[in-house]
Amino acid sequence: MESELGIIEQSFNSRYSLLVQEALAELPDCFTITDPCISGQPIVFASKGFLKMMGYSKSEVIGKNGRIFQGPGTCRRSVMEIREAIREERAIQINLLNYRKDGTPFWMLFHMCPVFSKEDGRVIHFVGVQVPISRKPRRSAGRNGVNLCEEGSRMEESVYGSCRREVCSDSLVELGHLMSLDSALDDVDSRGLDIEEPCEASDLEKRRAATAINSILSVLTHYSELTGRLVCGKRCSISGVGLLSSSLNISLGRIKQSFVLTDPHLPDMPIVYASDAFFKLTGYARHEVLGRNCRFLSGVETDSSTIYRIKESIQNEKACTVRILNYRKDKSSFWNLLHISPVRNASGKIAYFVGVQMEEGCKNQDGHGLSLEMRQLSAVGAVKIAVRCLSMGAGPSKS
């Protein structure tokens, strides 16, 4: 458990100067910061004010996601609106019924916003500010005196993690489960979706939440500058690069093998995503790879006939496997066992091409006993599931 907490906290600390924790601790606001790049989008930072308000210790919160603060009266409509905001990578301000550790419910104004990487425009964190609503809530009852917001609230999805599971599935079984879950949610009686919120935040409380968000973003921006891994409150992308949604970036980030995703709809078919394993294999940094055609890996002794085979398979929209001599950033060469395959969206149109690289003779690749071919096909399959799942329900399809 301690090692897991260390990994989770490191995911936050590695982006900013170590002093960021102290600076955030000085802020009087109640807030949490979550990491969408980790499964379940866990909390990686919780302010002192938040811990005091909720009655939890730091160790009880770090590594958990928002479902631990929900209860039987938490409105399904509000949860779904937050889920949609995460999916669309936008800010949201909404009234929400949450529960303290001792079980007491209270209304709060929840203001959430994404934090973007200046390097590639991805969402790296979500900041959630919680402002208790001082106004006494009104009780809204339906038939038989049942709170209408209670209906449908016992769903398994969390405020922070639900939409990520929809696009981060690594198997068709999980994809099928998610499709069934969405279908089931659509079939639930929608009375609880159409009622007026029982408790409204005042304009003063809304301004307090917005001010807190600005203060937190200011701290994160300043301390990211000290590490050179800059963040900001608005998305900025590398010129000429097709920007992937953070949902797809997160899903692809789960695939541990070396691979790149290229966009055939952009001039010169540039790389729009590269895995961490690819950077480790080639020695290049992210900003040196994104936006470039894969030919930069070729060198003086790369066989031109092999390059022609790759181009031909792409033109014919077919998969191919080749053995090609490539070069790292330090000019050292290696034999690349390369598998290329088209990736289609939910409508059947080619959205990307994926290229999976494996260094010939390398013994450090953890394949869990799988053959080379099966490891490559496994990576390709995971990429295809991520793209199709996203185009089916979490974003626009590429055509």
Mean of the pLDDT values across residues 332-353?
A: 92
Report the phi/psi class of residue 12: left, alpha or beta, with left for phi > 0 and alpha for psi in -120 to 50. alpha
| Amino acid found at 362 | C
User: pTM of this prediction?
Assistant: 0.55
Mean of the pLDDT values across residues 240-256?
A: 73
pLDDT at 163 over 50: no
At 191 the pLDDT is: 35
Q: Which residue has the higher pLDDT, 179 or 245?
A: 245
DSSP-assigned beta bridge partners for residue 105: 99
CB neighbourhood size of 5 (10 A): 15
Report how far Cα 15 is from the mean position of its chain's Cα atoms: 16
- Per-residue confidence band for 170, with pLDDT thresholds at 50, 70 and 90: very low
- For 359-386, give the DSSP string: ETT------TT--HHHHHHHHHHHHHHH
At 134 the pLDDT is: 86
pLDDT at 157 over 60: no
At 290 the pLDDT is: 84
- Per-residue confidence band for 174, with pLDDT thresholds at 50, 70 and 90: very low
At 107 the pLDDT is: 94
The overall average pLDDT reported for the chain is: 79
Mean of the pLDDT values across residues 338-342?
A: 96
Segment 256-276, tens digit of pLDDT: 899 999 999 888 899 989 999
Domain 246-394: top CATH class: alpha beta
At 368 the pLDDT is: 56
Q: Which residue has the higher pLDDT, 382 or 138?
A: 382
- Quick one: what percent of the chain has pLDDT higher than 90? 46
- Quick one: what percent of the chain has pLDDT higher than 70? 74
Fold equal for 2-232 and 246-394: yes
Segment 30-60, tens digit of pLDDT: 999 998 877 778 899 999 999 999 999 999 9
Place of tokens 């499964």: 39
Place of tokens 């099966």: 374
Segment 217-235, tens digit of pLDDT: 999 999 998 888 888 888 7
Segment 349-365, tens digit of pLDDT: 899 999 999 998 875 55
Among the four given CATH numbers 3.40.50.620, 3.30.360.10, 3.40.50.720, 3.30.450.20, the one describing domain 2-232: 3.30.450.20
Q: Which residue has the higher pLDDT, 171 or 54?
A: 54
pLDDT at 161 over 70: no
At 3 the pLDDT is: 52
- For 282-351, give the DSSP string: H---GGGTTTS-GGGG--TTS-HHHHHHHHHHHHTT--EEEEEEEE-TTS-EEEEEEEEEEEE-TTS-EE
Mean of the pLDDT values across residues 285-290?
A: 84
Segment 6-28, tens digit of pLDDT: 667 676 777 788 889 899 999 99
Domain chopping of the chain, boundaries: 2-232, 246-394
CB neighbourhood size of 69 (10 A): 25
At 304 the pLDDT is: 92
